[in-house]
């Protein structure tokens, strides 16, 4: 199967080789050294400010989102949550669940965020945002958001789960207290690990706040991370794969090269479907995904035919939009030949009257 979803995605041969081995024991100096390198490489790729730390939670990206909400925010905070789709909704749900005082900034599905929408939030103390709202494919204007937070003293917490490596992301320039991502998106390894980078300001928050949970405690993760360890048994194999990927990215020209590769795939895909009966959903498309609205047939049917008749996974949307929208991911180990196979399949479906 060719996989054009937004995660888990296809992995390169070096990563697959690691999955083939038995999981090694991890309370060893060797594994600790590898984890220290993971932390250093991740912070470097993010251009995290001096004094930042990173932790690796054995949880999907949502675990990192919840951990940040629990460890960085406090009942006295007034939180602004940008909600433009299912991942923004998840931050709102987390704030509600954890009893935080929050205000939603709603963006119509597919619409960009505008500065005017933040007006009135100057008295808030923190802002939660999914840099790329993966459900709609909208990439938010982070420079604008960061400037608003800086001018008004809001703590900025960034879910970059689907933006890390796919988009330009400079943690220091953004002034973000926390930036999170996950293993199964553009890092293109197995699911199971979420990564959180914390700036000195983020670290201070963790230190000051009361601990509310054990498994997702950032205090525990940071303390154990000082010696390259995790408090509990981690997804060791996924962490080894992350090490391989981060090392390869650093050796092959850094985050910019990865981003250019994905941008080229996204551009080639968008060019290749120009004559097909789709409209685009996102007003501010990312490099990670193209969201499409089929003009004639239900999106669910396209996803099903691609899977059953062409051996290709596209990414369905859930809920009310299931028949309206489907997505093609550009993250993961996708070759130009893979992309051509997808374009050929879509054009063949068009000829058969299936689009």
Which parts of 183-242 interact with ligand PLP (CB under 6 A)? Answer: 185
Q: Minimum distance between the CB of residue 131 and ligand PLP, rounded to whole angstroms?
A: 7
Given the rule CB under 6 A, which of 115-123, 159-167, 208-216, 245-253 is the region that contacts ligand PLP?
159-167
8: preceding bond cis by omega (within 30 degrees):
yes
Beta strands 101-106 and 2-3, pairing class:
unpaired
d(CA 234, CA 57): 7
Q: Minimum distance between the CB of residue 162 and ligand PLP, rounded to whole angstroms?
A: 4
Which parts of 165-194 interact with ligand PLP (CB under 6 A)? Answer: 182, 185
Q: Which of 4, 31, 56, 87 touches ligand PLP by CB under 6 A?
A: 87
Q: Which of 68, 142, 161, 249 touches ligand PLP by CB under 6 A?
A: 161
335 Cβ neighbours under 8 A, 6+ residues apart = none
Residues in contact with ligand PLP, total (CB under 6 A)?
13
Do residues 83 and 45 make contact, with C-beta atoms less than 8 angstroms apart? no
Alpha helices by DSSP H, listed for the chain, are 13-19, 29-46, 61-72, 86-97, 142-152, 171-174, 200-208, 218-225, 236-251, 254-272, 299-310, 336-351
Q: Return the number of the residue (140 or 278) whose C-beta is nearest ligand PLP.
A: 140
Query: Whose CB is nearest to ligand PLP?
Result: 61
Do residues 210 and 8 make contact, with C-beta atoms less than 8 angstroms apart? no
Q: Which of 71, 162, 199, 217 touches ligand PLP by CB under 6 A?
A: 162
Q: Minimum distance between the CB of residue 130 and ligand PLP, rounded to whole angstroms?
A: 4
Q: Return the number of the residue (160 or 349) whose C-beta is nearest ligand PLP.
A: 160
Task: Say whether residue 84 binds ligand PLP (CB under 6 A).
Answer: no
Q: Minimum distance between the CB of residue 347 and ligand PLP, rounded to whole angstroms?
A: 28
Region of 331 (left: φ > 0; alpha: ψ -120 to 50; beta: rest) is beta
Site string (91-130) toward ligand PLP, x via CB under 6 A:
---------------------------------------x
DSSP 97-142: HTT-EEEEEE--TTPPP-GGGGTT-TT-SEEEEESEETTTTEEP-H
Given the rule CB under 6 A, which of 18-26, 58-66, 244-252, 314-322 is the region that contacts ligand PLP?
58-66
Which parts of 2-31 interact with ligand PLP (CB under 6 A)? Answer: 7
The sign one gets for the Cα dihedral 263, 267, 273, 278 is positive
> Closest Cα partner for 169 from 53, 43, 316?
43
The number of beta carbons lying within 10 Å of the beta carbon of residue 313 is 18
Q: Return the number of the residue (192 or 228) whose C-beta is nearest ligand PLP.
A: 192
Phi, psi of 98 (to 5 degrees): -95, 15
Q: Return the number of the residue (133 or 310) whose C-beta is nearest ligand PLP.
A: 133
Half-sphere exposure of 68 (CA within 13 A, CB side): 35
Q: Minimum distance between the CB of residue 316 and ligand PLP, rounded to whole angstroms?
A: 14
β partners of residue 329: 289
Contact residues for ligand PLP (CB under 6 A)?
A: 7, 60-62, 87, 130, 132, 134, 159, 161-162, 182, 185
């Amino acid at each position: 199967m060719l996989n054009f979803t937004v995660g888990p995605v296809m992995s390169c041969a070096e990563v697959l080789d690691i999955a083939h081995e038995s999981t090694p024991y991890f309370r060893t100096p060797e594994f600790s050294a590898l984890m220290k390198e993971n932390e250093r490489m991740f912070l470097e790729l993010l251009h995290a400010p001096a004094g930042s730390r990173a932790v690796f939670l054995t949880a999907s990206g949502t675990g990192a989102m919840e951990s940040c909400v629990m460890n960085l925010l406090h009942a006295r905070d007034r939180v602004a949550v940008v909600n433009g789709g299912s991942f923004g909704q998840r931050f709102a749900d987390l704030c509600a669940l954890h009893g935080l005082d929050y205000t939603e900034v709603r963006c119509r599905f597919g619409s960009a965020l505008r500065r005017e929408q933040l007006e009135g939030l100057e008295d808030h103390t923190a802002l939660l945002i999914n840099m790329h709202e993966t459900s709609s494919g909208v990439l938010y204007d982070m420079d604008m958001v960061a400037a608003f937070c800086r001018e008004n003293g809001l703590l900025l917490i960034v879910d970059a789960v689907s933006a890390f490596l796919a988009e330009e992301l400079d943690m220091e320039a953004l002034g973000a207290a926390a930036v999170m991502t996950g293993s199964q998106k553009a890092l293109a390894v197995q699911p199971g690990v979420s990564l959180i980078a914390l700036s000195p300001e983020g670290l201070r928050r963790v230190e000051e706040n009361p601990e509310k949970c054990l498994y997702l405690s950032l205090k525990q993760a940071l303390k154990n991370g000082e010696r390259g360890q995790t408090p509990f048994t981690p997804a060791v194999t996924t962490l080894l794969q992350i090490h391989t990927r981060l090392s390869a990215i650093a050796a092959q020209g850094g985050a910019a090269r990865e981003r250019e590769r994905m941008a080229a795939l996204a551009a080639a895909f968008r060019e290749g479907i120009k004559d097909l009966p789709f409209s685009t959903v996102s007003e501010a498309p990312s490099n990670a995904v193209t969201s499409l609205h089929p003009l004639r047939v239900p999106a669910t049917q396209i996803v099903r035919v691609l899977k059953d008749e062409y051996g290709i996974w596209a990414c369905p949307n859930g809920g009310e939009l299931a028949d309206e929208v489907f997505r093609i991911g550009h993250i993961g180990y996708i070759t130009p030949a893979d992309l051509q196979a997808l374009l050929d399949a879509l054009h063949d479906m068009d000829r058969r009257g299936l689009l």
